[in-house]
Amino acid sequence: MDYEKLTHVMRELALVAGDKIMEIYGRDDFEVKSKSDDSPVTEADEAADAIISAGLRAAFPDVLLITEEQAATHDMQADTFLIVDPLDGTKEFVHRRGDFTVNIAYVENGVPTRGVVYAPAKERMFYTLADGSAVEEDGPFEKTHAGTTRAIRVAESDNSALMVVASKSHRDQATDDYINKYAVQDSKSAGSSLKFCLVATGEADIYPRVGRTMEWDTAAGHAVLHGAGGKVVVFATHDPLVYGKEGYANPFFIAYSPAVELKTP
C-alpha cells in the first residue's frame, strides 16, 4: 500500500462526503428510513457512501472494500481491506446534535492501521499520517492539501482521577456499572467515533462500550487511537480487538490510554 496516497485519498474523500452530509443536514427536512435492524438511514448516509466508495474503488481497485451501506452484499472476508462508515452517528444526525462522523479506515492483518475521522458539524478532523502516527488538523479544511496538523497523544492518565467518555445514544446500566469500578473525576458523553478521538487526544482516558457495534463503526477511530498510542481490547478478555470477523460484528470492548489500570468486568 502507498500510505502517502492512502492518507491523501481518505482525507479528501472524507471532506467531500462531509460537504454533502452538511448540505443535507442544513435542509428543513430530509428522508429517514429504517434498515432491517431498525436502525435509521438517511439520504446523507447513502450519498456519502456513493462518494467514498467511488473514490476508493478508483484509487485502490485491488483492495477489498467494505461499507456499512453495502453490508448486505458483502460475502467476502479478508484480513486486509478498506472499511467505511459514511455517516457514523445517524441518530445524532437525525436529532441534529452534531456528533456524527465520516469514518474511513484501512485494516492490515486484522488491525486498523490507517484511518480518518471527520466530524463536519464539529469542524474536527483526525487522521493517521503515512507513518501511522495520528494528528488533528486545524480548519478551515482545504480538500487538495492539508493545513496545520498537530500530533496527538493519549493522556498520561491519573488512575485516581480518570476522565471517562461514553456513548450519548447507547449508555446503559451495564456501562455505568463498569465505569463505577474506576476512580472517575468526570465523565462526558459523545456520539459516534468521536469517543475514540477524545481518548486519542488525551481529552478522555477510557471509553468502555458495552453494546453492539460493527467493524465499520470502530475501525477509523481505532486506527487514530492506535496512532496516538492507545489500545482497544475485548471487554471480557482484554485481548486485542481484531477485524475481519465473520459478519463484521464486534464484541464489547474498551478503548483506553495504556496508563489506565484496566478493571475486570
11 burial type by CB count under 10 A (0-12 exposed, 13-18 middle, 19+ buried): buried
Would you state the torsion angle of the CA atoms of residues 97, 103, 109, 110, taken in this order, to the nearest 10 degrees?
Answer: 20
Q: Is 213 annotated as a binding residue?
A: no
Contact (Cβ atoms closer than 8 angstroms) between residue 193 and residue 218: yes
Q: Is 89 annotated as a binding residue?
A: yes
Q: Is 68 annotated as a binding residue?
A: yes
Q: Looking at the DSSP assignment, which residues form a beta bridge with residue 188?
A: 165
Q: Is 148 annotated as a binding residue?
A: no
Closest CA to 99 of 213, 197, 30: 197
Q: Is 205 annotated as a binding residue?
A: no
Angle at 67 between CA 199 and CA 11, to 5 degrees: 55
Enclosing H/E stretch for 249: strand 249-250
Q: Is 217 annotated as a binding residue?
A: yes
b/e 39-55 (16+ beta carbons within 10 angstroms → b): eebbebbbbbbbbbbeb
CA distance 53 to 51: 6
At 94, list the grid cell.
437525525
Q: Is 88 annotated as a binding residue?
A: yes
Strand residues in 10-161 grouped as ranges (E): 32-34, 40-42, 65-67, 81-88, 101-108, 111-119, 124-128, 134-137, 149-151
Q: Which residues are annotated as a binding site?
A: 68, 85, 87-90, 217
Q: Which residues are annotated as a binding site for substrate?
A: 68, 87-90, 217
Q: Which residues are annotated as a binding site for Mg(2+)?
A: 68, 85, 87-88, 217
